[in-house]
Amino acid sequence: MTAIGDRVATGRWEHFPHDADIGVRGYGATPDEACEQATLAMMAAILDPETVRLEQTVDFALEAPCLDLLLVDWLNALIYEMAERRMVFGAFHVKIENDRLKGRALGEAVSRARHAPAVEVKGATYTELAFVEDRPGLWRAQCVIDV
- Share the mean pLDDT of the chain: 92
Residue 3 has what pLDDT? 45
Pick the CATH number of 27-146 from 3.40.50.720, 3.30.70.960, 3.30.420.40, 3.55.10.10: 3.55.10.10
Count CB neighbours of 11 within 10 A.
9
pTM of the model: 0.91
The residue extents of the domains of the chain are: 27-146
CA dist 33 and 40 (Å) reads 11
Each residue's pLDDT tens digit, 11-37:
699 999 888 899 999 999 999 999 999
